[in-house]
């Protein structure tokens, strides 16, 4: 059995009777078992997925199958899939079963996609390495001594190692794009509100986005087309029309774009030499292909990362207050009163990193520091968004490194939270501004580790992002 480069080629063989969904699911399961040491999955749904595959095979034969028939999908352990485990990678949700389907998951199922399992991640999506303290670290398939990125590391590795065709992850500060870069695949973070967050375990509600991993841009386009759009269950989701993204790829195929790159990101001392070279080479190739590429300055760059961490920890402090041991999940057996129940349950259930972010968020929301930190950060966030929107008046896209380095060693930054936070240096910009971004593979460093570059676009310009990503991959390869 073979790995298909994209869903369209798989669907061709499924419709022609040259392949079956049952065979595809079995092949992916064989890869999961062979590469179990990578620790990408927390749970697999073998018998259920095979039964669903047989059902979809019948629909294909009857020519009644949906748009994603036979597409095998993995879910990050932050997405609700009814009657299946949902833990957010945390001990505090031990034994919890999802009560309903996330809107994105339901739309996949309605289109006859097949869910194969739930995937390991940083606890409550708080991290940049997928070194989960409860379930163990996810390993990079290229070099098992290195991280796959985070927080959606299991989702990226599953696609990278052919354990599924596509994964859904979440991107709060780069948690789809950074693992995509470390694993050499495509990672799409859409515009905030493009995809309903209903059924997504909340970390930072004004930052969280469901994102898509695949090995091809066209698969991202197709899945986005299915799962995006208005949802009555999410008051923050946009009513902006959902284009036919695959058709848009064809329409924009020969269009020449105006692209900016931020001078200080390319010149940053934090940027690994090989990533700088890859970006410089990509700029030249884009120019040779007829695109306009120009350097720009963005004076607010130095404020993006601190603004992100002030606001996202504040939102985490609020969102995670619901996990208290009273209604579901882990409950301490050492409580003597209600106060000790809360305190001991949360101390036992949350990892050190989650506790750190809750404490930081509680601090910036406290009455003594609210104006100095939280309120000020909200003002700076508005300025950053306005600055980005102004750039998109003159340019179609911004080209940036996805990460400052390639995949680092497991444990390398574990003892220094600031070093770990700096892994998000270039990825948080899209989330602070709320704009879409896509990371694509762009060569390898001297150790053979993948390099990722990202394009950021204006609100709801996913069509353009998918098009420039496709053209850039062609010019690189």
Give the helix/strand (H/E) hosting 75: strand 72-76
In sequence order, the β-bridge partners of residue 295 are: 261
Please provide the size of the chain in residues.
477
Q: Is 258 a catalytic residue?
A: no
Q: Could you write out the DSSP letters of every residue in 140-191?
A: PSS-TTB---SSSHHHHHHHHTTS-SEEEEE-SSSTTHHHHHHHTSEEEE--
And the tokens for 445? 């460093």
How many whole angstroms from its chain centre is CA 41?
Answer: 16
And the tokens for 299? 């004076």
Q: Which of 80, 130, 155, 175 is catalytic?
A: 175
Compute the distance between CA of residue 183 and CA of residue 332 in angstroms, rounded to an integer: 38
Beta carbons within 8 Å of 264's beta carbon, 6+ residues apart: 297, 298, 301
And the tokens for 430? 């899209």
- Between CA 144 and CA 265, with CA 474 as vertex, the angle to 5 degrees is 65
Q: Is 76 a catalytic residue?
A: yes
Q: Is 151 a catalytic residue?
A: yes
Q: Which of 128, 151, 414, 463 is catalytic?
A: 151
Compute the distance between CA of residue 215 and CA of residue 281 in angstroms, rounded to an integer: 22
SS3 450: strand
User: Hey, CA dihedral for 469, 427, 32, 224, is it positive or negative?
Assistant: negative
Dihedrals phi, psi of 25, to nearest 5 degrees: -60, -45
Dihedrals phi, psi of 15, to nearest 5 degrees: -70, -30
Residues with a catalytic annotation lie at 76, 151, 175
């Amino acid at each position: 059995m073979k790995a298909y480069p994209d869903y369209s080629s798989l669907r061709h063989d499924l419709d022609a009777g040259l392949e079956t969904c049952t065979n595809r699911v079995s092949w992916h399961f064989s890869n999961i078992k062979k590469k179990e040491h990578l620790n990408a999955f927390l749970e697999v749904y073998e018998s259920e997925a095979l039964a669903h595959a047989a059902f979809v095979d019948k629909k294909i034969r009857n020519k009644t199958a949906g748009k994603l028939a036979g597409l095998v999908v993995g879910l990050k352990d932050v997405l609700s899939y009814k009657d299946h485990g949902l833990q957010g990678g945390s001990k505090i949700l031990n034994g919890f079963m999802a009560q309903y389907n996330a809107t994105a998951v339901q739309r996949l199922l309605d289109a006859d996609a097949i869910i194969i399992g739930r995937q390991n991640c940083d606890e409550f999506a708080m991290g940049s390495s997928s070194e989960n303290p409860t379930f163990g670290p996810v390993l990079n398939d290229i070099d098992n001594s290195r991280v796959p990125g985070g927080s959606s590391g299991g989702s990226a590795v599953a696609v990278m190692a052919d354990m599924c065709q596509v994964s859904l992850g979440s991107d709060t500060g780069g948690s789809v794009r950074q693992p995509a870069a470390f694993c050499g695949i495509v990672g799409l973070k859409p515009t905030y509100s493009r995809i309903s967050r209903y059924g997504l375990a909340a970390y930072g509600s004004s930052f969280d986005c469901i994102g898509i991993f695949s090995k091809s841009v066209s698969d991202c386009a197709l899945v986005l087309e299915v799962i995006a759009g208005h949802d009555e269950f999410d008051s923050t989701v946009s009513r902006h029309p959902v284009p036919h993204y695959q058709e848009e790829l064809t329409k924009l195929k020969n269009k020449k774009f105006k692209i900016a790159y931020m001078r200080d990101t390319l010149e940053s001392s934090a940027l690994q030499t090989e990533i700088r070279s890859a970006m410089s080479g990509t700029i030249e190739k884009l120019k040779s292909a007829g695109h306009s590429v120009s350097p720009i300055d963005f004076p607010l760059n130095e404020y993006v990362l601190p603004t992100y961490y002030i606001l996202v920890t504040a939102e985490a402090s609020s969102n995670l207050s619901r996990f208290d041991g009273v209604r579901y999940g882990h409950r301490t057996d050492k409580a003597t009163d209600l106060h000790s129940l809360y305190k001991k349950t949360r101390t036992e259930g949350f990892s050190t990193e989650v506790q750190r972010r809750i404490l930081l968020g509680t601090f910036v929301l406290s009455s003594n520091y609210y104006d100095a930190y939280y309120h000020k950060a909200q003002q700076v966030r508005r300025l950053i968004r306005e600055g980005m929107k102004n750039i998109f008046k003159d340019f179609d896209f911004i080209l940036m490194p996805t990460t400052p380095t390639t995949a680092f060693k497991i444990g390398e930054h574990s003892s220094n939270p600031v070093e770990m936070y700096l892994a998000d240096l270039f990825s948080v910009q899209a989330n602070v501004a709320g704009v879409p971004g896509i990371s694509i593979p762009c060569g390898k460093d001297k150790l053979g580790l993948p390099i990722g570059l990202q394009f950021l676009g204006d609100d709801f310009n996913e069509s353009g992002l998918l098009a420039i990503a496709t053209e850039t991959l062609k010019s690189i390869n």
